[in-house]
Structure 1
Amino acid sequence: MKQSIRQNKMLLAVTLLFSIITSAAGVLIAIILQKVIDAAMQGDMLLFKKIVILSVAYLLLLSLFGFMYAICSKALIRNLTLSLRERVFRGVFRRNAEEFTSSNTADYLSALTNDIKLLEDNYIQPLLLTLQNVVVFAASLIILLYLSPLITLILVVCMILMFTVPSLFGKALQDKQSAVSAQMSIFTTSVKDLLSGYEVIKSYAMGKHTEQKFQQENTAAANTRFAADRLFAANESLSETLAILTQFSVVFIAAYLIISGDFSAGSLVALVQLSGGFVGPVLVVMQNLPKIQGVKPVVQRINDLASEEAQPKSGLLEPVFNENLEISRLHFAYQQGNQVLSDINLSLQKGKKYALVGRSGCGKSTLVKLLSGYYDRYEGSITLDGINIKQLDPERLQQMTATIHQNVYMFDTDIKQNICLHEEFSEEVMETALHTSGVHKFVEKMPSGLLTTVGENGSQLSGGQRQRIAVARALIRSKPILILDEGTSAIDMQTAYEIESRLLTLKELTLMTITHNMNEELLGLYDEIIYMENGRIAEVGSFHVLRARGGGFAAFCSLHKGDVAEALQA
């Protein structure tokens, strides 16, 4: 929050300047009213005309300064919310993978929408109002002391009494605001989950349950908000009652002084006007201070999310892959404590092709994520050309690797942008990627070709078409390391075989394929098969050597063939 304010310090200074001028000038209206009434009571027409002319000019200037303040304050609010959203967004995306996945994406959406709106309504605007009214209060106090020290003393006593009110509500409002933020995050998460599960809900006739679930979460969110609003209402009601009592006191005392002959009628009008300028700001401050205090947990949450962008990256080395990627005594466990990888030792040579094989859950995907710098919390060492990858720039390290996942994400744009990802490539490079991946086979049949929109997460495409696009997305960048994580599982066997065969012929490419496809001809083309069991590397060697050895890999191949035969018979 402080950084966003510092970025807009000039605009803040100008806004405060116009706020001071406008607020102080507004208070001086009481003196003009005093002079007008006194001139009228004295029957001085010449003085009356002068005051009217002066008042017109004064009001025009006041209107101009008021307009400038309104424009500047709205621009400041826009810039602050813009800066906060940008900083939170950058902070979220600069988290490492483990930190990012530790929170639901709906929590991030809630922070960027609900929490920023809470800050605007209950922190930024109340803060500007409070600063403005402090100026009004100070100017009113000076003029009140000039007109009547006695009435000023009475107003100060009332003010002290009024300032005790926020202390009664501050802590409770802070808890309520925190509860609102938390409940809105839960609501956003629930709605996102229901919308994402549309197909399952329709397929299994879960409409009634879904409506009930939404109603429960919607009611909980509305009730939590209402509980906070109820407390705000109590605070505002009590503050307004005290303010009215204070103004009544001023009027009655001033009226008594007029009867006693110690006050003019114009002074009475000025006092009534000034008491509003004295008590009103106190009332505004009383109503807004609890809001500012109450939103502190939300400010802290925004600061925590945005702080990730400030992490220094100095001293990190540029990754270079000319020789090998070495893994030594590698152990890894997720935060829940379950050990995923144990005592992994492996050497991967540049330009060679590796097939990573094993039962589901044996740690294959986790291993390749560690190799690409996805996680940095592990025991043991991973070195790239002899340099520990923890000494390398993580973003650069990840840019050296292209991964084709089984579950492909598509952005809601056209096919070309889903391949290029807003980078520019030559027509020759594009054509090569399209033909190697097989994308050209279905793009040629589409009326808009590469400019065909894919829909939300590729909803307008089949699973096989999405995977072909993912393959083209990886190939077009010619990165030195390619990870194929079941990346052709949704493509027909012939196309998958063609794509994988072409990848195996690329001499400079280091390929790691996670696969359950036990095609003997294809596996025979790999330099090494890495067979994993229960988070450990059980066997390493060429396909034919491992089959002849008759160990775990051979048994796994036989089991897989049996499953395929059963499936074909069924």
Structure 2
Amino acid sequence: MQTLIISLTASLYALASIASATYYGYIVEHADNKNQTLFLMMIVMGITIVFFRWLFDLINQLIMVRFVGNIIYTIRQKMLQSLTSKQVFDFKKKKVSTYTSNLLNDVELVDRDAIEPYFDFVSQLVIVVISSFAVLYYQPIVFVVILIGTIGVFLIPMMMSQKLQQKQSVFSDESAHLTESASDILNGFETVKSTQSVNKFLIGFDQVNKQYTKAKISSGKWIMANHVTSGMLGMLVQYAAVLASIWFIMNGMITVGIMLTMVQTMNTLVFPLIDIFRLIPQIKSSKPIMDKIDALANVTALNLTTSDESLDFTKQIQLKNITITLDNQKILTDISLKLEHSKKYLLVGDSGSGKSTLAQLLSGFITDYEGRFLLDDQQLNNSEYLFNCVSYVSQTPYLFNQTIKQNIVMSQLFSESKLTKVLKQSSVSDFIQNDQQLDDELLQNGQNYSGGQRQRIAIARGLYQQKPLTVLDESLSGLNSKLAHHVESQLLSLPNTALVHITHHFDMSLINQYDSIIWIKNGQIKANQKPEKLLSNAEFQSFLKVKS
């Protein structure tokens, strides 16, 4: 439909242009006529024709801009929807800066080199076809000259398209590297400054920027060469056609007025041809980037199966013989574990023992594993269903550029009483002076609050979701001992929520309130026992002494 509308408006513009060319010829033919009334009519008619030519061209361009804008909007929406349909594990296989570059830089390249040129190509092609019929009507031989010349010169821009594709692909990759380098410096600004590494990062950015600039210049050179070559070839076609027209005048076969009409019509034909010579290689050059965007925008959405929809965590979660291998290294080996609803579990182990990997498995972030995952004795087929059952709070939570209230409530229905409750449980209420502060906008990742305050906001967010299982992955590590004790005791007192708390800071005054301590060592469960029993284990006591 969009192509049809553009074709229609281009047709109207082409017809107005041909009418204008015909009118020029008519004026010349009647230049020796001394009829003033006819002269005034010529003025009115000329203004009318010029106005409609301008109007149809304006309508065509405005419609084109609207179509291009809507298409780019749809592409970005579809890309982001597809990216967010990825499993978390798959999403993390690429850097965020790469996705950002795809969404911003690559889409802009497609806008510039594919979408806009496509509609421009359609417009110019329609104009060429209609103008060709006009030239064919006035003088078929001139049309044949233009046709032969066009076929001959058409091959040269086509030969340039392959090189343009290579240059545009390199430019896209360098754009991603530039985005990544800039993001590293800006996101890690405090670390860069405090470690006195500004010069080191600037040198690195300079190298990446040089590569980006080199790719941009190289790509731009080929684009400009394509434009200039297309223009030269188009002018050669026009020059040949004008020479043919002059030959016809010299032989008395056409009048000067007809020649002027033909020259003006040839302008309407040749200049769009020049654009077509330029547009075809430009559109073809965007194919690698289009393929990249198409791959991102067509990720198959993950749908819950019928069996998954019936799953719930009301009794127990069971892991049976779970093995997880990441980057050809076994992280968890033959793990079997049962978590009961409403019970509280302390998950401990050395650094690198697999604690966080187990937490991410329970939270639905890891999908590639061997073994069975059961919810209330039913097989889990899609790990994303766990998002309905589990609240996960990491050690380094992300806070959005929204208000504190919005960061806590997220997509849940707002409840004043529920919000007040979780603010107290997480100790967020300790630094919130009034309700208005809840509506304060956070800076990027909550940089206007301390690390401990950001962690408490994230804990409040997890509690607000009211999921059957809450997983804390070192989420209290940024709090002082008094605050950590308060928040941990609040979590242990939640009546209808299971808790898995990963920590290397043990609050011995609360440890006996856990139903079980899960001790992981070298990717395997070393023990899963009640606190009073495990605390009497000499090996575990040695582990605690090392940790303390």
- TM-score of the superposed pair, with normalisation by structure 1: 0.91
Partner of residue 544, structure 2: 557
- Counterpart of 1:405, as a letter, is S
**Which amino acid is the alignment partner of residue 479 of structure 2?**
I
Return closer, same or farther for 1:226/1:38 CA change in 2, 3 Å cut-off: same
Deviation at 1:474, TM superposition (A): 1.4
Specify the alignment match of 1:548 in structure 2: 536
Q: Which residue of 1 aligns with 2:509?
A: 521
- Aligned letter for 2:535? R
Q: 1:79 to 1:55 in 2, by over 3 A?
A: same
- Contact 1:27 1:136 (C-alpha < 8 Å) held by counterparts: no
- Deviation track 1:424-456 (CA, whole Å, cap 9, x = no partner) reads 432221221111111111112x79532333322
Contact 1:373/1:389 (8 A) holds in 2: no
In 2, distance between residues paired with 1:86 and 1:506? 40
- SS in structure 1 at match of 2:476: coil
Q: Which residue does the alignment assign to 1:398?
A: 387
Name whichever of 468-477 and 235-244 sits farther off. Answer: 235-244
Alpha-carbon distance in 1 for matches of 2:197, 2:214: 26
Q: How far has the Cα of 1:49 moved from its partner? A: 5.0
* Aligned pair partner of 1:509 in 497, 522, 538: 497
Distance 2:39 2:144 in 1: 32
Contact 2:11 2:130 in 1 (8 A): no
Choose from 509, 524, 531 the match for 2:519: 531
**How far is 1:46 from its partner?**
6.1
Q: Deviations over 1:491-532 (max 9, x none)?
A: 111221121112112221111011112333322111111100
Runs (5+) with no aligned partner, structure 2: none
Aligned to 2:312: 320
Corresponding letter in the other structure for 1:559: V
In the TM superposition, residue 179 of structure 1 has moved relative to its aligned partner by: 0.7
Match of 1:122 among 91, 108, 113: 113
Q: Which residue does 1:479 correspond to in 2?
A: 467
Per-residue CA shift, 1:51-101, capped at 9, x if unaligned? 544433333333332232222111111101111111111111111111111
Deviation of 1:148 (Å): 1.1
| 1:291-342 alpha-carbon deviations (Å, 9 max, x no partner) | 11010111111111111265555545323111110111101112x2111110
Moved more, 250-259 or 372-381: 250-259
Counterparts of 2:268 and 2:442 in 1: how far apart (Å)?
Answer: 60
Root-mean-square deviation over aligned CA pairs: 2.0
Query: Counterpart of 1:454?
Result: 442
8 Å CA contact retained: 1:34, 1:269: yes
Residue type matched to 2:524 in 1? R
**Which runs of structure 2 are paired with 1:408-487 in the superposition (5 Å)?**
408-421=397-410, 423-444=412-433, 448-487=436-475
Which of 147, 162, 167 pairs up with 1:156?
147
Give the aligned partner of residue 357 of structure 1: 348
Secondary structure at the counterpart of residue 308 of structure 1: coil
Quote how far apart the aligned CAs of 1:14 are.
Answer: 2.8
Residues 86, 301 of structure 2: 8 Å contact kept? no
SS in 2 for 1:332: strand
Correspondence for 1:332: 324
Q: How does 1:19-30 map to 2 (within 5 A)?
A: 19-30=10-21
Which whole-Å CA distance do the structure 1 matches of 2:40 and 2:441 have between them? 72
Match in the other structure for 1:91: 82
CA contact (8 A) 2:364 2:385 kept: no
SS in 2 for 1:88: helix
Letter in 2 for 1:474: G
Q: How big is the shift at 1:222?
A: 1.2
**Deviations 1:250-307, CA, capped at 9 Å, x for gaps:** 2222222212211101111122112222222221111111111010111111111111
Partner of 1:17: 8
List aligned pairs for 1:158-177, cutoff 5 A.
Answer: 158-177=149-168
Matches within 5 A, 1:118-267: 118-267=109-258
Aligned equivalents of 1:160, 1:13: Cα separation in 2: 26
Report the secondary structure of 1:176's partner residue. helix
Quote the Cα distance in structure 1 between the aligned partners of 2:185 and 2:398.
19
Question: Residue 30 of structure 2 aligns with which residue?
Answer: 39
Question: Taking structure 1 as reference, are residues 147 and 454 closer, same or farther at Cα in structure 2, changes over 3 Å only?
Answer: closer
**Change beyond 3 A, Cα 1:287–1:103:** same
Q: Contact 2:7 / 2:126 at 8 angstroms: preserved in 1?
A: no
C-alpha deviation, 1:48, in angstroms: 5.2
What is the deviation of 1:21?
1.8
Change (3 A) 1:78 1:560: same
Give the distance between the partners of 2:466 and 2:187, measured in 1 at CA.
34
Q: Show CA shifts across 1:371-406 (max 9, x none).
A: 22212111101010122221x5x5442132111211
Deviation at 1:42, TM superposition (A): 6.0
Bigger shift: 340-349 or 311-320?
Answer: 311-320
Structure 1's unaligned 5+ residue stretches are 1-8, 562-570
Once residues 16 and 146 of structure 1 are traced to their aligned partners in structure 2, the CA distance between those partners, rounded to angstroms, is: 22
Once the two structures are TM-superposed, the CA of residue 19 in structure 1 deviates from its matched residue by: 2.3
Of 488-497 and 65-74, more deviation after overlay is shown by 65-74
TM-score (structure 2 length as normaliser)? 0.95
Aligned residue among 477, 480, 487 for 1:489: 477
Distance 2:127 2:197 in 1: 59
1:321 partner SS? coil
Q: 2: distance between equivalents of 1:23 and 1:15?
A: 12
Query: Could you tell me how far 1:407 is from its partner in structure 2?
Result: 0.9
Structure 1 Cα separation of the partners of residues 15 and 365 of structure 2: 58
Identity among equivalent pairs (%): 28
In 2, distance between residues paired with 1:29 and 1:476?
A: 70
Distance in 2 separating the partners of 1:384 and 1:51: 85
Amino acid at match of 1:272: V
**Partner Cα distance (2:446, 2:38) in 1:** 78
Q: How does 1:95-106 map to 2 (within 5 A)?
A: 95-106=86-97
Q: Which residue of 2 aligns with 1:298?
A: 289
In the alignment, is the contact (CA less than 8 A) between 1:24 and 1:135 conserved in 2?
no
In structure 2, what residue type is equivalent to 1:101?
A: K
Q: Distance in 1 between matches of 2:535 and 2:386?
A: 35
One-letter amino acid of the structure 1 residue matched with residue 441 of structure 2: T
Matched AA of 1:268: M
Cα distance 1:312–1:399, how it changes in 2: closer, same or farther (>3 A)? Answer: closer
Q: 1-side partners of 2:411 and 2:379: how far apart?
A: 32
Tell me, in whole angstroms, the C-alpha distance in 1 between the residues paired with 2:472 and 2:41.
87
2:353–2:523 Cα contact (<8 Å) kept = yes
